[in-house]
Chain A
Amino acid sequence: MLRKISIQLSVGLCLLLTTMTAASAEKTLTLMTHDSFNISKTLVASFEKDNDVKLRFLKSGDAGAALIQAILTKDNPLADVFFGVDNTFLSRALTAGIFIPYRSPLLTTIPPSLQLDKENRLLPLSYGDVCLNYDKEWFKKNNLSPPADLIDLLKPEYKGLTVVENPATSSPGMAFLLATIGRFGADGYLDFWKNLRANDVLVASGWKDAYYGHFTSASKGNRPIVVSYASSPAAVVHYAKIPLTEAPTAAVVGDRTAFRQIEFIGILKGSKEPELAGKLIDFMLSIPVQEDIPLQMFVFPANSAARLPEVFTKHAVVPEKPAEIAPSEIEANRDKWLEAWTNAVLR
């Protein structure tokens, strides 16, 4: 008897769930983005009220996965606006032709060095720098001076101290590989990696694994140098249980040791609400959102008039001269470089 009831209940539940869809009567604007996207609730509410629209967020995996989904659905786009194309995928995104140009009035507040698309199909929203992070405590305890340049990682006293991510499966891993290419050139980077391999570097599959699995400051691992972000020290302080005055980790920001990842936002071709989408981009580039971005996603705002929060000014550093490679060059040589790296380091 009980079994009959429970079976009927389950079937009923099943049918109920099947008929439920996310239908809504009011206008909806959808923002498609990667999994690390975050924004404050009050800001979203204010936009929704000012424009009489419901904002919906579609998180779609990491940057590469989200972009490829956008490209695959270009005939019937999943959203109106896409945020998360970074400079390593810029060429791919623009060639696919899935964005329409939009000249936002707020473009004047953004430094020209960030505006990589002159046609404004993709507008810069934020930037972050992938670089080495080290555990200050560990280096002090072991009487070693922390690394200041990429070449330091090859020194004998740094043997077995570094963990990097696999560029094939990790976005910061890829960015670090590009940093080494920017630093040592397309002819010299393989030698650097071969030497690094000889110096017992550990390759993890992703940032989570590297940071929480092997970095001494965040786990019981034994690698005090990890590839992470220039803003990670600030994040550690921000998320610490007990308030910290000094960050336990620090970032290496010497010239051409970091790689700048600029993230772009654009209106998807085929959107049913292009004007509202434009308004959303203006909103995202405005001061309130730009000042909210640092503590939500731990990257720096593109709007140069936005003020940084205290934890950033105290604990996050911006590299002055990050390594740079043109987006078209990245797209053209990406698989060649990846294959060469895999052969040099993993096989």
Chain B
Amino acid sequence: MKPRTLLFSLPLVFLLLFYFYPLLRIVLQSFLPDGLWSPEKLENLWTSSTYWRILWFTTWQAALSTILTLLLALPGAYVFARYRFFGKNLFQALLTLPFVLPTVVTAAAFGALLGANGLVNTWLMRAFDLAGPPIRLDQTLAFFLLAHVFYNYSLVLRIVGSYWAGLDADLRAAARMLGASPGQTFFRITLPLLMPAVGSAALLVFIFCFTSFGVVLILGGPGFATLEVEIYRQAVQLYNLPMAAALSLVQIAVNFLLMWLHAKLSRKSPVAFYADTSSGTAIRPSTSWQKSLVGANLLFIFLLLVTPLLALAVRSISGEDGPTLAYYQALFRSDEDSLFFIEPIAAVANSISFALAAMVAAVALGLIASVFLASARGRSTAFWDAVIMLPLATSAVTLGFGYIISLNRPPINLRDSLALVIIAHTLVAFPFVVRCILPSLRQIPQTLREAATLLGASPLQVFRRVELPIISRAILVGAVFAFSISMGEFGASTFVTRPHTATMPVAIFRFLGQPGEMNYGQAMAMSTLLLLVTCTAFWLLARLEVRRSAPAKPLSKDMDHIS
């Protein structure tokens, strides 16, 4: 067996053990509690039209969100790929922050900004002397679509942006030289070349919006219910486990079909190329058209993504009588006598440790899986591609339940182990990393690898010296997202979190569960802390990016030296 195929067994075993096994256990338990099959609980599934309606709604809102995000983020990806400007790293870090925020906090931030009594409305009413709030977004479709764009903008921007930066400039230059206009170059050359990355990003955004739980519920209101909400309702509220399991399977099936289709369509990019230098060909904007493009995009990013975060930070320091640091002080002061007081330092430390561990594990597994998928030929590649993505498409409730009824007896007793939290995070993060790395890996020309082998490199050396540097940017993007997923995770991991593993989102939730201005303020303060910690981590990660030691010397100089 080829070594690459053997290596793939590692992610496969991981999936089998920590995804398929718990999933199988919970599905069996749900359908056959005590070994009896009671189909009448599932009757409603095919008699009532409610579930079709819910499935239809979930699908079209996800599709709409994806298209919207793509349209808005692609210009941004172009700007970040092509241009260099002051504060670029900071902006990039800021626009990835929304990913990390728990939904309740996002809802609070948006409410504070765009709600009926939010900052924008009050300002507009005062400025234009209006009777009622002009922006009425509460509990409308537009509101949670906006939130979806808010969350997923960075996905598209980073994945497509990093791929775009690596596009071979020679191809573009050749097209221009042959007489193509900029528009023609874009539509006939650049866009087809970008398709792998766009497809990857779009798939991820779609799956995220499809399995959206909190966002739709809080911002759209109870009138909008997605499949995920229904699964929760059936399992927890109505105790109809067979129905919950059936709906979960429907969700997995629908997503699997989509992922398999995507995998089939995204084999190889039409032209093979690779990036010469890691920093790409970013230039400073010079013409006024370029400057206004960059400026407009940055302004848009600031308005959409940064202002809600700022509103959050402002809220954390504004008390009833003006700016105050009381909430932050209260965070660090041990609460009277309470047993469940989470030391903010402990929560920060826990969050960071889990995130680091999950990031390393996810990047390792993702890299291995990507290598296998990129080099595999044959009809089964699309199938394995889709299989790897399955954890993202599975309901957190189902997976969480699966965890608590399996892996709790020797030989594998992970019930109280910290490892379970890391595993849960890694499970969700590593498909991400695969989607980030695979497009870049796929378009490395085979001739490059062959040349290296001819020159005497072993397969491992080929990988280390040729492929790894080329995909290093993509690996970094994957690592950043793996880190942020882990920092903000509050889904399946709630079922495996134990008292000694409290993280920042858990602490935020605890504060929000108590009445009173003080608790709410502390929740906002902890959220701002979460943002600050994550931002710092992003900045540090960005500095790890490999800089090529030196650009390749032109051949003629060497020849001169020899002769």
> Nearest CB to that of B324 among chain A residues?
A241
Which residues of A lie under 8 Å from residue B401 when comparing CB positions?
A: 68-69, 72
CB atoms of A13 and B357 under 8 A apart: yes
CB atoms of A335 and B357 under 8 A apart: no
Which residues of A lie under 8 Å from residue B356 when comparing CB positions?
A: 10, 13-14
CB atoms of B337 and A220 under 8 A apart: no
| B351 CB, nearest partner CB in chain A, Å | 13
> Considering the chains assembled together, what is the distance between the CA atoms of A346 and B111 in angstroms?
22
- Out of A202, A220, A241, which one reaches B517, CB within 8 Å? A241
> Considering the chains assembled together, what is the distance between the CA atoms of A202 and B498 in angstroms?
36
| B221 CB, nearest partner CB in chain A, Å | 7
Question: Could you list 7 examples of A-B contacts with CB < 8 Å?
Answer: A3-B546, A10-B356, A64-B237, A205-B221, A208-B104, A220-B111, A221-B117
Which residues of A lie under 8 Å from residue B510 when comparing CB positions?
A: 35
CB atoms of A169 and B515 under 8 A apart: no
Which residues of B lie under 8 Å from residue A61 when comparing CB positions?
A: 494-495
Is A300 in the interface zone, CB < 8 Å from B? Answer: no
> Considering the chains assembled together, what is the distance between the CA atoms of A17 and B338 in angstroms?
27
Is A114 in the interface zone, CB < 8 Å from B? Answer: no
Chain B: residues with CB nearer than 8 A to chain A? 26, 29, 104, 107-108, 111-112, 115-118, 139, 217-218, 221-223, 229, 232-233, 235-240, 319-320, 326, 337-340, 353-354, 356-357, 359-361, 401, 404-405, 408-409, 415-419, 422, 494-495, 498-500, 509-510, 512-520, 544, 546
Give 1 or 0 for each of A305-336: 1 = CB within 8 Å of chain B CB.
Answer: 00000000000000000000000000000110
Given known contacts A13-B353, A17-B353, A205-B218, A240 and B108 CB-to-CB distance under 8 angstroms: no
> Considering the chains assembled together, what is the distance between the CA atoms of A238 and B236 in angstroms?
32
Given known contacts A168-B233, A208-B512, A22 and B404 CB-to-CB distance under 8 angstroms: no
**Which residues of chain A in 1-53 are interfacial with respect to chain B, using CB atoms and an 8 Å cutoff?**
3, 6-7, 10-11, 13-14, 17-18, 20-22, 35-42, 44
CB atoms of A240 and B516 under 8 A apart: yes
> Nearest CB to that of B421 among chain A residues?
A17
CB atoms of B500 and A72 under 8 A apart: no
18 new A-B contacts, CB < 8 A, other than A335-B238, A338-B237, are: A17-B419, A18-B418, A35-B510, A36-B513, A38-B340, A59-B499, A68-B236, A73-B404, A76-B408, A92-B239, A208-B512, A212-B520, A213-B107, A220-B112, A220-B115, A239-B518, A335-B240, A347-B223
Given known contacts A18-B419, A218-B520, A239-B519, A10 and B222 CB-to-CB distance under 8 angstroms: no
Is A107 in the interface zone, CB < 8 Å from B? Answer: no
- Out of A13, A41, A78, A213, which one reaches B337, CB within 8 Å? A41
CB atoms of B514 and A235 under 8 A apart: yes
Which residues of B lie under 8 Å from residue A298 when comparing CB positions?
A: 515
Which residues of B lie under 8 Å from residue A69 when comparing CB positions?
A: 401, 404, 495
CB atoms of A241 and B29 under 8 A apart: no
Given known contacts A168-B237, A169-B217, A346-B223, A58 and B499 CB-to-CB distance under 8 angstroms: yes
- Out of A41, A213, A338, which one reaches B238, CB within 8 Å? A338
Which residues of A lie under 8 Å from residue B223 when comparing CB positions?
A: 203, 346-347
| A290 CB, nearest partner CB in chain B, Å | 16
> Considering the chains assembled together, what is the distance between the CA atoms of A138 and B408 in angstroms?
53
Given known contacts A6-B544, A17-B419, A39 and B360 CB-to-CB distance under 8 angstroms: no
> Considering the chains assembled together, what is the distance between the CA atoms of A37 and B112 in angstroms?
29
Which residues of A lie under 8 Å from residue B361 when comparing CB positions?
A: 14
Is A175 in the interface zone, CB < 8 Å from B? Answer: no
> Considering the chains assembled together, what is the distance between the CA atoms of A116 and B233 in angstroms?
26
Given known contacts A21-B416, A235-B516, A40 and B360 CB-to-CB distance under 8 angstroms: no
Which residues of A lie under 8 Å from residue B517 when comparing CB positions?
A: 218, 239-241
Of A7, A17, A203, A211, most B-chain CB atoms within 10 Å: A17
Is A166 in the interface zone, CB < 8 Å from B? Answer: yes
- Out of B29, B104, B500, which one reaches A22, CB within 8 Å? B500
CB atoms of A35 and B520 under 8 A apart: no
Which residues of A lie under 8 Å from residue B235 when comparing CB positions?
A: 68
CB atoms of A241 and B115 under 8 A apart: no
Is A56 in the interface zone, CB < 8 Å from B? Answer: yes
> Considering the chains assembled together, what is the distance between the CA atoms of A41 and B339 in angstroms?
5
Is A204 in the interface zone, CB < 8 Å from B? Answer: yes
| A293 CB, nearest partner CB in chain B, Å | 13
- Out of B118, B238, B417, B519, which one reaches A20, CB within 8 Å? B417
> Considering the chains assembled together, what is the distance between the CA atoms of A281 and B26 in angstroms?
32
Which residues of B lie under 8 Å from residue A120 when comparing CB positions?
A: none
Give 1 or 0 for each of A197-214: 1 = CB within 8 Å of chain B CB.
Answer: 000001111101101110
Which residues of B lie under 8 Å from residue A41 when comparing CB positions?
A: 337-339
CB atoms of A11 and B236 under 8 A apart: no
